[in-house]
Structure 1
Amino acid sequence: MYKYEEKTVNTKPIFKGRILDVRVDEVLLPNGKTSTRELIKHPGAVAIIMVTDDKKIVLVEQYRKPMEKPLVEIPAGKLDEGEEPLACAMREMEEETGYECESMDKLISLYTSPGFADEIIHIYVAKGLKKKENAKGLDEDEFVDLMEVTLQEALELVKEERIQDAKTAYAIQYLQLQEALLK
C-alpha cells in the first residue's frame, strides 16, 4: 500500500480502440473523498537509439496527426499483444530503418504521460548496426523518411523544433552524455 494511494471505486469504459482505450475511474482519495480520473490505457512501446559505425544517429521523420506536422524521432513502435519489448524493438528497427544489429541493450523504461496514461516506453541502444537485405517494410499506414545525422545536426534539429518528442530529446541528451560513442 502506498501513502497516497487512490482506490478505484468504479470504472466506466468510454472507448476501446486499436491503439488505446479510454476510461473514467471513480476513486477514493486518501482523505476519504471521491474524485474522477480520466485514463488512457496503452499496451506500451519501444524506442531504439541507433548510432552507425560512422557515428551517425539514425532518425525517422514522420507526420504526426495530433501535432498536424512532421516530427523527427528515434525509431519507435507500439508493442503488439503479448510481444516482449526486445522482440518489438528488433522488429521496429528493421521495419522503420532496414537495419539489424549485433546486440541491443535496454537503457531505461519511462512513463510518457503518467498524469493520465499508463503508456510505458522501453528505450534500447542498438550496437553493431548493418543494413539488412530484404528487410521487412513499413506497416501499410506508415510513411517515414530515414535520416542519419551527426550529434551536432541532431542538436540543430532540437533548436529548430523538428525534434520535440520526449523520447528523442532523451536520446539526444543521452548521446551528449555518452559523446565518446560518437567520436
Structure 2
Amino acid sequence: MASYSKGKPEDAKVTEVINLSSKDAKWMKLEKIKYIDPLGKNRDWECASRTTRVEGSDVDGVGVLAILLKPTGTEVVLQKQFRAPLGGVCIETPAGLMDPNETIEECALRELKEETGYFGSKVIDQSPIIYNDPGFCNTNLSLVVVEIDLNDERNKNPVPQLEENEFIENFTVLLKDLPEELNKLEEQGYYLDARVQNVAAGIKIARTYKLF
C-alpha cells in the first residue's frame, strides 16, 4: 500500500526561515517559566506551548498505530510527511489534534479515516497521556492502537481525505520487521518520529529478552 493524491512529500522544500514572536504565531507561543528548584533556588526555563488544546481537554491529540491483519503477516500503517522544522520528510504514524467534545478514541478513528481512508474496526489499546519533548514544550498525546478489518467493504479501496495543506504518503511494513525497515529508511535520508522508533525499540527489546 502506498498512496498520495496531490504530490509527493519529497517534493517540498524550505525556502526561508524567519524569526517569529509569540504575538505573531497562530498555533504556539514562547514562554519563560519561573520556578523554585528542590534546593529552594529561583530558576528560569524557556519553553514552547500549544495554543490549540481544546477547552476542557487534558490532551492535545492522538497518534494512531494502525494494524492490518493479513494472511501474509501483521502490518502497520506508516506515513511519509514533509516537516518544515526538519527540512525533510519524516516517517510517522497517522496523528492529529483533538476536536471540541471529542474523545481520544473518536479522534483516533477520525484521523485514521481522514489521513489513510481506512475505517478502524477495533481499538486495541489507548496509552496514558505521553509527552513528546518535556524539556522543550508541553505538547502531549495518547497513542491509540487500532485494528483495521480488511474484510470490511469500506476498506477495500481506502481514499484519504487530506486537507489542502496535507501531503501524506501512506505505506505499510510488516510489524515484526519494523526495526529493520526504519533503519533502512533512516539510511535513505528520512527522519524518524520518536513514537515510531520507540515502538520499534520495544519490538527489539521483546526479541532480546524473549518476553513473549
TM-score band w.r.t. shorter chain:
0.7 to 0.9
Q: Does 1:46 align with 2:62?
A: yes
Matches within 5 A, 1:76-95: 76-81=95-100, 83-95=102-114
The offset of 1:136, in angstroms, is 6.1
Q: Does 1:74 align with 2:93?
A: yes
| Paired amino acid for 1:121 | L
Matches within 5 A, 1:24-173: 24-42=32-50, 43=53, 44-54=60-70, 55-81=74-100, 83-104=102-123, 105-130=125-150, 131=155, 137-151=161-175, 153-160=177-184, 161=186, 162=190, 164-173=192-201
Residue identity over aligned pairs, in percent, reads: 26
The offset of 1:169, in angstroms, is 1.1
TM-superposition CA deviations, 1:134-161 (whole Å, max 9, x none): 8661121111001011135532332131
Partners in 1 of 2:129 and 2:156 — Cα distance? 27
Q: Is the 8 A contact 2:31 2:47 kept in 1?
A: yes
Tell me the TM-score normalized by structure 2: 0.67
**Long gaps (5+) in structure 1:** 1-13, 179-183
TM-superposition CA deviations, 1:34-67 (whole Å, max 9, x none): 2211122233221111111212211111111111
Closer/same/farther in 2, CA of residues 139 and 66 from structure 1, 3 Å limit: same
Partners in 2 of 1:66 and 1:141 — Cα distance? 15
3-state DSSP class of the match of 2:26? coil
Q: Is the 8 A contact 1:158 1:169 kept in 2?
A: yes
3-state DSSP class of the match of 2:192? coil
**Long gaps (5+) in structure 2:** 1-20, 54-59, 208-212
Partners in 2 of 1:26 and 1:65 — Cα distance? 30
Partners in 2 of 1:100 and 1:40 — Cα distance? 34
Give the number of aligned pairs. Answer: 165
Partners in 1 of 2:113 and 2:46 — Cα distance? 35
Structure 2 partner of 1:8: none
Whose strand proportion is higher, 1 or 2? Answer: 1
Q: Is the 8 A contact 2:179 2:201 kept in 1?
A: no
Structural RMSD (CA): 2.6
Closer/same/farther in 2, CA of residues 156 and 163 from structure 1, 3 Å limit: farther
Tell me the TM-score normalized by structure 1: 0.76
Q: Is the 8 A contact 1:47 1:124 kept in 2?
A: yes
